[in-house]
Amino acid sequence: MDPYAPVPPPSPSPPPATRPWWRRPGPVALGVLAVFAGGLVLFGGPSGEPGGSAGDAKRGGRPEASASPSSAGAADTGAPSTGPPTPTGPPQLVGKVLKEAREAADGAGYDVVTHDASDRNDGQWDADGWKVCFQTAGGQRGGGRPVLDLGVVRVDSPCPAADGEEVSWPSMPGVAGTDFARAGEMLKEVGIRKVRPESVYTDVTLPADPSAWRVCFQDPAPGKEIENPQYATAYLKLAPPDAACPEEPYARLRP
């Protein structure tokens, strides 16, 4: 053999066996992911809605709405009510001036109707000039507010014994025989504020302070009913402390 003869090149190695496309891990994995992503886009997530998640599916397929503290507080308190107040019980109005009674009733959620509590049936035009003697429930009006029916009389008038009865005015006390100071106290107790003293003797002058002088005669007479005593005037005939009372007024002490 010729040592310098050329060596033939080695025979080429057979090409590697090609795998079917389904056995190739790379393309298969990418294909599966692409198909799954397309399904999510077209048909939504497991919940049946686009963008849904597994957590949404566990919650019934719809995300839960979260309430903020401010919205929860608004739901608890509600909007401020502009309607009338809800009555909690009728206020006690007896003894109050009518104007004050109306304000108290309105603030408690009640409407008011009034009537003269005496037998005179006078109209109540000035709310400051009347006071409440009786109150009763008066039903409800169309608006739903309950009504209080108030029996009222003039502020300076006593209340009658019962609603609708005649007012019992005070009687004139008997002050004859007392000194002028005590007589003034007795008249004040029944509401008489105006007292006019006079000397029972025409020839004796009344002093500036007749407190110690004795009452001999009076007008109005004892026992007479005094209507509106705050406007009445009592006339008293006085004798000096050291003189007796005459049989009639306008006598002379020294004939």
Residue 120 shares a structural domain with residue 197: no
Please state whether the peptide bond connecting residue 220 to the residue before it is cis, i.e. omega within 30 degrees of 0: yes
**219, part of any domain:** yes
Residue 255 shares a structural domain with residue 174: yes
Question: Which run of H or of E encompasses 103?
Answer: helix 98-107
Whether the per-residue pLDDT at 11 is higher than 90: the answer is: no
Average pLDDT of the segment spanning 175-186: 97
Question: Cα–Cα distance between 12 and 15 in angstroms, integer?
Answer: 9
**85, part of any domain:** no
Domain extent at residue 211: 169-255
**What is the reported pLDDT for 86?**
67
- pLDDT tens digit string along 80-107? 555 556 666 899 999 999 999 999 999 9
CATH of the domain at 239: 3.30.10.20
Higher-scoring residue by pLDDT: 236, 254:
236
**64, part of any domain:** no
Indicate yes or no: pTM above 0.85.
Answer: no
**110, part of any domain:** yes
pLDDT band for 9, please (50, 70, 90 cuts).
Answer: low
**39, part of any domain:** no
Residue 185 shares a structural domain with residue 123: no
Whether the per-residue pLDDT at 47 is higher than 50: the answer is: no
**212, part of any domain:** yes
**178, part of any domain:** yes
pLDDT band for 24, please (50, 70, 90 cuts).
Answer: low
Residue 178 shares a structural domain with residue 241: yes
| SS3 of residue 126 by DSSP | coil
Whether the per-residue pLDDT at 7 is higher than 50: the answer is: yes
Average pLDDT of the segment spanning 10-29: 52
Average pLDDT of the segment spanning 58-71: 40
Pull the structure tokens for residue 205.
């002058």
pLDDT band for 223, please (50, 70, 90 cuts).
Answer: very high
C-alpha dist (Å) from residue 212 to 3, 156, 175, 215, 243: 181, 31, 14, 10, 12
Angle formed at CA 112 by CA 108 and CA 118, multiple of 5 degrees: 130
Three-state secondary structure readout of 3-23: CCCCCCCCCCCCCCCCCCHHH
Nearest to 236 by CA among 162, 165, 174: 174
Residue 179 shares a structural domain with residue 148: no
**Residue 153 CB neighbours (<10 A):** 22
State the total domains in the chain: 2
Say which amino acid occupies 202: T
Residue 116 shares a structural domain with residue 144: yes
**What is the reported pLDDT for 60?**
44
Average pLDDT of the segment spanning 181-197: 96
Residue 136 shares a structural domain with residue 193: no
Residue 147 shares a structural domain with residue 196: no
Average pLDDT of the segment spanning 233-242: 97
Residue 175 shares a structural domain with residue 238: yes
**182, part of any domain:** yes
Whether the per-residue pLDDT at 74 is higher than 80: the answer is: no
Residue 140 shares a structural domain with residue 186: no
Residue 187 shares a structural domain with residue 242: yes
Nearest to 95 by CA among 147, 160, 155: 155
Q: Which residues contact 140 (CB under 8 A, 6 or more apart)?
A: 146, 147
**What is the reported pLDDT for 186?**
97
Mean pLDDT over the full length of the chain: 78
Share of the chain above pLDDT 90, in %: 58
Which of 24-38, 87-101, 229-243 is predicted with the least confidence, judged by mean pLDDT? 24-38
Whether the per-residue pLDDT at 199 is higher than 80: the answer is: yes
Residue 186 shares a structural domain with residue 104: no
Average pLDDT of the segment spanning 37-45: 48
